[in-house]
Amino acid sequence: MRNQVQLITYADRLGGTIAGTAQVLHDVFGDSVGGVHLLPFFTPYDGADAGFDPVDHTAVDPRLGTWDDVRALARDRDVVVDVIVNHVSADSAAFEDVVRRGRASEHAALFLTFDDVFPDGAHEADLAAVYRPRPGLPLTPMTLGGERRLVWTTFTPQQVDIDVRAEAGRAYLTQILRTLADAGVRMIRLDAVGYAIKTAGTTCFMTPETFAFIDELTAQARGLGLDVLVEVHSYYQRQVEIGRRVDRVYDFALPPLVLHGLFTGDGAPLARWMRERPTNAVTVLDTHDGIGVIDVGPDQTEPDRPGLLRPGQIDALVEGIHDRSAGASRLATGQAASNLDLYQVNCTFYDALGRDDRRYLAARALQFFTPGIPQVYYVGALAGRNDLELLDDSGVGRDINRHRYTREDIDAEVSRPVVAALVALMRLRSTLEVFDGVFAFRTEDDDHVLHLDWSHEARSAALQVDLRTGDCVLEWTDGAAHGRTTDLLEDPPHR
Mean pLDDT of the chain: 94
Considering the domain architecture, whether residues 201 and 97 belong to the same structural domain is answered as no
335 pLDDT tier (thresholds 50, 70, 90): low
Considering the domain architecture, whether residues 457 and 418 belong to the same structural domain is answered as no
340 pLDDT tier (thresholds 50, 70, 90): very low
Domain at 142, CATH number: 3.90.400.10
339 pLDDT tier (thresholds 50, 70, 90): very low
231 is in an annotated binding site: yes
Residues 107-130: tens digit of each pLDDT: 999 999 999 999 999 999 999 999
61 is in an annotated binding site: no
487 is in an annotated binding site: no
| Domain presence at residue 220 | yes
Considering the domain architecture, whether residues 285 and 426 belong to the same structural domain is answered as yes
- Overall average pLDDT of the 27-43 stretch: 97
- Overall average pLDDT of the 3-8 stretch: 98
Among candidate residues 137, 161, 185, the one where a domain is terminated: 161
Which of the residue ranges 219-223, 232-236, 279-283, 405-409 would you say has the lowest mean pLDDT? 232-236
Partner residues linked to 8 by β-bridges: 37, 377
Give me the pLDDT at residue 362, please. Answer: 98
Phi, psi (degrees; rounded to nearest 5) at 225:
85, 15
Considering the domain architecture, whether residues 190 and 101 belong to the same structural domain is answered as no
Query: Does the annotation count 241 as an active-site position?
Result: no
Give me the pLDDT at residue 354, please. Answer: 98
| Domain presence at residue 492 | no
Considering the domain architecture, whether residues 206 and 113 belong to the same structural domain is answered as no
Tell whether the model's pLDDT for residue 385 goes beyond 50.
Answer: yes
Among candidate residues 161, 178, 199, the one where a domain is terminated: 161
Residues 283-320: tens digit of each pLDDT: 999 999 889 888 999 987 788 899 999 989 999 999 99
From the candidates 82, 163, 191, 387, which is the catalytic residue?
191
| Domain presence at residue 494 | no
**How many whole angstroms separate alpha carbon 350 and alpha carbon 348?**
5
From the candidates 78, 231, 357, 399, which is the catalytic residue?
231
| Domain presence at residue 154 | yes
- Overall average pLDDT of the 316-329 stretch: 94
Number of domains the chain is built from: 3
Among candidate residues 161, 181, 215, the one where a domain is terminated: 161
Tell whether the model's pLDDT for residue 337 goes beyond 80.
Answer: no
Asked if 488 and 357 touch (Cβ cutoff 8 Å), the reply is no
Tell whether the model's pLDDT for residue 336 goes beyond 70.
Answer: no
| Domain presence at residue 490 | no
Considering the domain architecture, whether residues 182 and 234 belong to the same structural domain is answered as yes
| Domain presence at residue 1 | no
Domain at 289, CATH number: 3.20.20.80
Domain at 468, CATH number: 2.20.220.10
| Domain presence at residue 493 | no
Query: Does the annotation count 231 as an active-site position?
Result: yes
445 pLDDT tier (thresholds 50, 70, 90): confident
Q: What percent of the chain has pLDDT over 70?
A: 98
Considering the domain architecture, whether residues 404 and 481 belong to the same structural domain is answered as no
288 is in an annotated binding site: yes
107 is in an annotated binding site: no
Considering the domain architecture, whether residues 334 and 363 belong to the same structural domain is answered as yes
pTM for the predicted model, two decimal places: 0.94
Considering the domain architecture, whether residues 230 and 358 belong to the same structural domain is answered as yes
**Cα torsion 81, 82, 83, 87: sign:** negative
| Domain presence at residue 274 | yes
Considering the domain architecture, whether residues 176 and 33 belong to the same structural domain is answered as yes
Considering the domain architecture, whether residues 416 and 380 belong to the same structural domain is answered as yes
- Overall average pLDDT of the 335-341 stretch: 46
Tell whether the model's pLDDT for residue 100 goes beyond 90.
Answer: yes
289 is in an annotated binding site: yes
Considering the domain architecture, whether residues 335 and 194 belong to the same structural domain is answered as yes
Does 365 or 331 have the greater pLDDT score?
A: 365
- Overall average pLDDT of the 215-227 stretch: 96
Full domain range(s) for residue 143: 93-161
